[in-house]
């Protein structure tokens, strides 16, 4: 009989910091030294411990991985989208980790139906633009940042990251010859834009705090050392983006903080011209710009909490004329301009939606969908002159589906629904075998909080069913219903899956976000607890069968509810969790910190913010209570949530509440999104799913 594995014990080194008269001792601050051999040794010891105590789950992990793989059509082809004289698409090949990026020429200029193959095989006449597998060869991690074909179709700008730190090397490929040009720029950010003639490329670089702040102009064929700095953003609260309008007539340079924005434009046929300002920034006013004919469309929140749509002449962009007025409760999120139609992406009653505005109309009509809860979004639509709009639809029971919506007839044509192959038992997937529901929890302050949930038909509602409750609740990001092949392995074992649409997200409009940020951030946490309590009271599950799950800012949520209501859960999965927010937001040298002050507040300058953040920070509030079992997952090269946050958290949990079961799993060669290859990602998901099933007694 072997001894039970013993968890690593992190050494304690007393380090003090004082702010606003408050002194904190952080005995694990040393773990932030990434290059310290002791840090790396501790992370390796944590990984070894996690592997040892979960070794009994290895057969289940393999089984779950096999179920994911069996249900997935591994050799597959996306629905091609038209741009210029080509159809563009990606395809995957069984046994290969990454996508292959391809195009084929149009068979006929009048062709509107995208080509397809039934088995995911290459299309006739295929040209491979990039093969992710070839690029990733020899690297543990691979991620593609930019993939941008010039308007004339002759050149491709692409960028690669081989560590997970999201610093990309930008390259240009001549698609006529297949040659990768010597033009190469290291340390770039997401986002590029071509000039109209494809001879000039705009791109972004970041500062030391990982903030995109400079826009550069590169003339193809010249030395990158001669590139011209087009714009530099000096305000550290603001990030910068660059894009080409769908009309291909204007390059947009967008500067934005969490609550303020400013846009400049450059005529794409005159790329060396000075950027022209649309409207100067005003604190608290956000706006975005789209080009349409002889006007710019302006989506803004100036006196319109849930945004309204205006237009302005290209000749006088300062004079805004309201086109779609503000309607409280209907959050306008974006506008896509086509030659004869506008498509507005919106959100109402906790659901996403699309509104079609034919040219000359201001009211238009909203598209209707049959399911009670769903998610719909505009998909790839690069063509300005088009008779159809490509959209993507899914729900908890409907696999991701690509449609073309005929703008003239209103017909919705299904181009492809993501295949779900039979499971290992040979049983075909049937959406009718599952039920999805929308329920509402009641928060302590009387606010109704929506919950989306799915379960297999016949799952008992007597409190005996195990359940996973997922949450996020920050940055106005909405956790819209989505279909998941790996989730089927849980549902078919009798689990319920639920999403808590807590405040801090954007599901119910701008006010839903405002009520879950800054000095109202605790609403995010209490909403999640209210959702957990609702699920138990309604008989969907019980506290000893309920596992909470969230990542990044949702990992902050996990840490906070562990302190707030440890008795409400039997397990918590915290992925790349932001569990030491006060320490991070106090340090303006860290990536993203200054930009985050408008989301969390500035604890450096404001004692009230400092005290409030300290009162909910998971790391600061660890105490000697009976915590649920906790699985924390992290990545060493993550630049968004630094690896040491969950590492310190788990160390303090073990030291302060030693009766608990705490695991830390760190990817030593990945970034914020975890493993990059699809098979590696499936194995990672199988690891988490096996741990969850073990917590609720379903590992066998």
Q: Give 292's pLDDT tier (boundaries 50, 70, 90).
A: very high
- How far apart are alpha carbons 276 and 419 in whole angstroms? 47
Catalytic residue among 42, 306, 672, 684: 672
Q: Give 686's pLDDT tier (boundaries 50, 70, 90).
A: very high
Q: Are 147 and 101 in contact (CB under 8 A)?
A: yes
395 among known catalytic residues: no
Q: What does pTM read for this prediction?
A: 0.96
Q: What is the pLDDT of residues 187-208, one digit of tens each?
A: 999 999 999 999 999 999 999 8
Domain boundary among the residues 295, 326, 357 is at 326
270 among known catalytic residues: no
Task: Please tell me whether residues 188 and 263 are part of one structural domain.
Answer: yes
- How far apart are alpha carbons 264 and 45 in whole angstroms? 51
Q: Give 1's pLDDT tier (boundaries 50, 70, 90).
A: very low
- How far apart are alpha carbons 679 and 563 in whole angstroms? 35
Q: What is the pLDDT of residues 14-40, one digit of tens each?
A: 999 999 999 999 999 999 999 999 999
Residue 636: predicted pLDDT: 93
Q: Is the pLDDT score of 643 beyond 70?
A: yes
Task: Please tell me whether residues 563 and 581 are part of one structural domain.
Answer: yes
Residue 2: predicted pLDDT: 56
Is 685 contained in some domain? Answer: yes
Kindly state the tokens that stand for 318: 């300062």
Q: Tell me the pairing of strands 287-292 and 155-161.
A: unpaired
Q: What is the mean pLDDT of the chain?
A: 96
Task: Please tell me whether residues 313 and 442 are part of one structural domain.
Answer: no
Q: Which one-letter DSSP state was computed for residue 129?
A: E
**Best CA proximity match to 526, nearest among 537, 515, 510:** 515
Is 302 contained in some domain? Answer: yes
Residue 465: predicted pLDDT: 98
CATH assignment of the domain containing 496: 3.40.50.1820
CATH assignment of the domain containing 283: 2.130.10.120
Long-range contacts: 365-373, Cβ < 8 Å, 24+?
Answer: 367/405, 369/393, 371/395, 371/397, 371/398, 371/436, 372/436, 372/437, 372/438, 373/436, 373/437, 373/438, 373/452, 373/481
- How far apart are alpha carbons 692 and 120 in whole angstroms? 34
Task: Please tell me whether residues 531 and 659 are part of one structural domain.
Answer: yes
Mean pLDDT of all residues in 304-323: 95
**Best CA proximity match to 131, nearest among 91, 186, 185:** 91
Domain boundary among the residues 294, 326, 358 is at 326
- How far apart are alpha carbons 698 and 395 in whole angstroms? 26
Task: Please tell me whether residues 250 and 319 are part of one structural domain.
Answer: yes
Q: What is the pLDDT of residues 245-255, one digit of tens each?
A: 999 999 999 99
Q: Are 532 and 571 in contact (CB under 8 A)?
A: no
Residue 277, domain extent: 75-326
- How far apart are alpha carbons 528 and 519 in whole angstroms? 17
Q: Are 201 and 192 in contact (CB under 8 A)?
A: yes
What single string gives the DSSP state of each residue in 224-275?
A: GGG-EEEEE---TT-EEEEEE-TTSSEEEEEEE-SS-EEEEEEETTSTTSPP
User: Which single residue is written with the structure tokens 């915590």?
Assistant: 627
Please state the φ and ψ torsions of residue 423, each to the nearest 5 degrees: -75, 180
**Best CA proximity match to 674, nearest among 30, 326, 568, 666:** 666
Q: What is the pLDDT of residues 646-661, one digit of tens each?
A: 999 999 999 999 999 9
Kindly state the tokens that stand for 345: 């992406």
Task: Please tell me whether residues 315 and 450 are part of one structural domain.
Answer: no
- How far apart are alpha carbons 188 and 213 in whole angstroms? 11
Cα torsion 180, 184, 190, 196: sign? negative
Task: Please tell me whether residues 268 and 197 are part of one structural domain.
Answer: yes
638 among known catalytic residues: yes
Structural domain tally of the chain? 2
Mean pLDDT of all residues in 539-568: 98
Catalytic residue among 159, 375, 552, 584: 552
Q: Give 154's pLDDT tier (boundaries 50, 70, 90).
A: very high
Task: Please tell me whether residues 180 and 45 are part of one structural domain.
Answer: no
Q: Tell me the pairing of strands 467-471 and 496-500.
A: parallel
Is 338 contained in some domain? Answer: no
Cβ neighbors of 312 (< 8 A, separation 6 or more) are 278, 295, 296, 298, 318, 319, 320, 321
Residue 109: predicted pLDDT: 87
Q: What is the pLDDT of residues 416-475, one digit of tens each?
A: 999 999 998 899 999 999 999 999 999 999 999 999 999 999 999 999 999 999 999 999
Catalytic residue among 638, 644, 676, 684: 638
Q: Are 119 and 92 in contact (CB under 8 A)?
A: no
**Best CA proximity match to 647, nearest among 1, 15, 12, 42:** 42
The burial of 644, by beta-carbon neighbours within 10 Å (0-12 exposed, 13-18 middle, 19 or more buried), is given as buried
Kindly state the tokens that stand for 70: 């069996």
Domain boundary among the residues 292, 326, 360 is at 326
Q: Is the pLDDT score of 576 beyond 60?
A: yes
């Amino acid at each position: 009989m072997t001894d039970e594995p013993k968890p690593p014990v992190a050494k304690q080194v007393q380090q003090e910091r004082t702010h606003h008269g408050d002194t904190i001792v952080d005995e694990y601050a040393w773990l932030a030294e990434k290059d310290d051999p002791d840090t790396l040794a501790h992370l390796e010891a944590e990984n070894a411990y996690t592997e040892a105590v979960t070794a009994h789950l290895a057969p289940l992990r393999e089984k779950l991985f096999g179920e994911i793989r069996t249900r997935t059509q591994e050799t597959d082809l996306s629905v091609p989208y038209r741009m210029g004289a080509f159809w563009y698409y990606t395809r995957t090949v069984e046994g290969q980790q990454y996508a292959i990026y391809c195009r084929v020429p149009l068979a006929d200029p009048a062709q509107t139906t995208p080509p397809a193959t039934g088995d995911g095989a290459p299309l006739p006449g295929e040209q491979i633009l990039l093969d992710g597998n070839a690029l990733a060869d020899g690297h543990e991690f691979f991620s593609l940042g930019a993939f941008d074909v010039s308007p004339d179709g002759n050149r491709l700008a692409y960028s690669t990251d081989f560590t997970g730190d999201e610093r990309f090397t930008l390259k240009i490929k001549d698609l006529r010859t297949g040659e990768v040009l010597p033009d190469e720029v290291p340390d770039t950010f997401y986002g590029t834009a071509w000039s109209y003639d494809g001879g000039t490329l705009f791109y972004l670089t970041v500062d030391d705090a990982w903030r995109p702040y400079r826009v550069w102009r590169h003339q193809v064929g010249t030395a990158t050392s001669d590139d011209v700095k087009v714009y530099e953003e000096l305000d550290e609260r603001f990030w910068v983006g660059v894009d080409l309008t769908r009309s291909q007539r204007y390059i947009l340079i967008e500067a934005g903080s969490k609550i303020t924005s400013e846009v400049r434009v450059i005529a794409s046929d005159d790329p060396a011209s000075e950027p022209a300002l649309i409207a100067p920034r005003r604190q608290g006013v956000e706006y975005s710009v789209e080009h349409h004919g002889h006007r710019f469309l302006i989506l803004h929140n100036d006196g319109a909490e849930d945004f309204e749509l205006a237009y302005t002449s290209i000749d006088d962009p300062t004079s805004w004329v309201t086109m779609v007025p503000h309607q409280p409760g209907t959050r306008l999120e974006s506008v896509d301009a086509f030659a004869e139609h506008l498509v507005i992406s919106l959100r109402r009653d906790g659901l996403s939606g699309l509104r079609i505005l034919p040219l000359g109309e201001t009211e238009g009509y909203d598209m209707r969908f049959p399911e009670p809860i769903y998610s719909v979004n505009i998909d790839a639509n690069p063509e300005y002159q088009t008779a159809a709009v490509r959209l993507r639809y899914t729900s908890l029971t409907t696999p991701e589906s690509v449609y073309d919506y005929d703008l003239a007839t209103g017909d919705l044509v299904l181009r492809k629904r993501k295949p779900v192959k039979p499971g290992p038992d040979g049983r075909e997937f049937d959406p009718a075998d599952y039920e999805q529901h929308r329920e509402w929890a009641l928060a302590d302050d009387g606010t109704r909080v929506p919950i989306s949930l799915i379960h297999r038909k016949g799952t008992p509602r007597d409190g005996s069913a195990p359940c996973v409750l997922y949450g996020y609740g920050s940055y106005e990001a909405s956790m819209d219903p989505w279909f998941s092949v790996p989730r089927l392995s849980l549902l078919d074992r009798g689990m319920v899956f639920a999403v808590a649409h807590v405040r801090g997200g954007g599901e119910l409009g701008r006010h839903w976000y405002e009520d879950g940020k800054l000095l109202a951030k605790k609403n995010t946490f209490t909403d999640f607890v209210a959702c957990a309590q609702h699920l138990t009271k309604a008989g969907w599950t019980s506290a000893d069968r309920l596992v909470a799950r969230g990542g990044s800012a949702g990992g902050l949520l996990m840490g906070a509810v562990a302190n707030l209501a440890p008795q409400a859960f039997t397990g918590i999965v915290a992925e790349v969790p932001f569990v030491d927010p006060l320490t991070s937001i106090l340090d303006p040298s860290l990536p993203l910190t200054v930009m985050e002050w408008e989301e969390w507040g500035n604890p450096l300058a404001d004692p009230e913010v400092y005290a409030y953040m300290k009162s909910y920070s998971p790391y600061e509030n660890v105490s000697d209570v009976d915590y649920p079992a906790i699985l924390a997952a992290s990545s060493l090269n993550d630049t968004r949530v630094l690896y040491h946050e969950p590492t310190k958290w788990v160390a303090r949990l073990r030291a302060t509440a030693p009766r608990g079961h705490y695991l830390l799993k760190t990817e030593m060669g990945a970034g914020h999104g975890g493993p990059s290859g699809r098979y590696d990602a499936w194995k990672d998901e199988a690891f988490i799913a096996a741990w969850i099933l073990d917590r609720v007694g379903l590992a066998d």
